[in-house]
């Protein structure tokens, strides 16, 4: 996977992605909250790949959160790194599955009667992208209380002029189309 690191305001990147799915999330009766300790933190990242990470985590949160539930995205500045938390009040993940969910084609509920569909490749790809950023992803979860995915990304900069990229680079797929693809297995 080819990465294209540029300096971005990670707060704006994550906020824009979160807000891009707000209408859909709220149409499911789920409250979506974006919160941050900081207004700006410039880091080197591949914003398009991070968009895929965030869309996958948000899509999973929607899949496993009942109406009247809450999904919260929070950014915290750790100085040398940035912590992005995606927390939901969904079904939760059994203790014995917390590490396995990052394995390719692995799902918590492999039965034919599971509530949500998916290929099981998403979190494996998420982990790979985060690791290509020299970051880490972990999950904290409790059955019937929800899950919190924690992404830690290093706060490094690319050696480029002081130009800071404000928006996610134009791609071959418009933002709406990328959201539709990531959320395709949960559209009713």
Per-chain mean pLDDT for the chain: 86
Burial class of residue 150 in the structure, from the number of CB atoms within 10 Å of its CB (0-12 exposed, 13-18 middle, 19+ buried): middle
Taking 50 as the threshold, does the pLDDT of residue 119 lie above it?
Answer: no
| Mean pLDDT for the stretch of residues 27-55 | 97
60, two tokens: 């999973």
User: What does the pLDDT look like over 145-186, one tens digit per residue?
Assistant: 999 999 999 999 998 754 566 655 444 455 667 777 777 766
Residue 187 falls inside a structural domain: no
Overall number of domains in the chain: 1
Q: What is the CA radius of gyration of the chain?
A: 16
pTM value is: 0.84
**E strand segments, the chain:** 6-9, 31-36, 42-45, 70-77, 81-88, 136-142, 146-154
Residue 20 falls inside a structural domain: yes
Residue 55 falls inside a structural domain: yes
Domain that holds residue 118: 6-182
Residue 105: left (phi > 0), alpha (psi -120 to 50), or beta? left
CATH number for the domain including 13? Answer: 3.30.565.10
Separation CA 75–CA 18 (nearest Å): 12
Residue 38 falls inside a structural domain: yes
Q: What is the pLDDT of residue 165?
A: 63
Q: Which one, of 7, 5, 3, 4, lies nearest residue 162 by Cα?
A: 7
- The residue assigned the tokens 């938390």 is 85
Which long-range CB contacts under 8 A does 99-107 form with residues at least 24 apart? 101/139, 102/126, 102/127, 102/137
Residue 99 falls inside a structural domain: yes
Residue 1 falls inside a structural domain: no
Q: What is the pLDDT of residue 175?
A: 64
167/82: higher pLDDT: 82
Local structure of 38: helix, strand or coil: coil
Number of residues written out for the chain: 188
């Amino acid at each position: 996977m080819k990465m294209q690191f540029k300096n971005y305001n990670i707060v704006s990147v994550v906020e824009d992605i979160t807000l891009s799915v707000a209408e859909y999330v709220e149409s499911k009766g789920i409250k979506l909250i974006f919160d941050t300790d900081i207004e700006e933190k410039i880091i080197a990242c591949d914003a398009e790949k991070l968009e895929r990470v965030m869309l996958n985590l948000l899509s999973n949160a929607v899949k496993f959160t009942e109406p009247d539930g809450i999904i919260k995205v929070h950014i915290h500045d750790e100085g040398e790194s940035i912590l992005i938390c995606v927390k939901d009040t969904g079904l939760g993940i059994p203790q014995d599955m917390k590490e396995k969910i990052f394995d390719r084609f692995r799902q918590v509920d492999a039965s034919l009667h599971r509530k949500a569909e998916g290929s099981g490749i998403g979190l494996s790809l998420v982990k790979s992208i985060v690791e290509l950023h020299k970051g880490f992803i972990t999950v904290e979860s409790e059955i019937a209380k929800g899950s919190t995915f924690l992404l830690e990304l290093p706060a490094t900069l690319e050696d480029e002029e002081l130009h800071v990229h404000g928006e996610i680079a134009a791609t071959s797929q418009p933002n709406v189309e990328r959201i539709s693809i990531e959320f395709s297995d949960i559209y009713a």
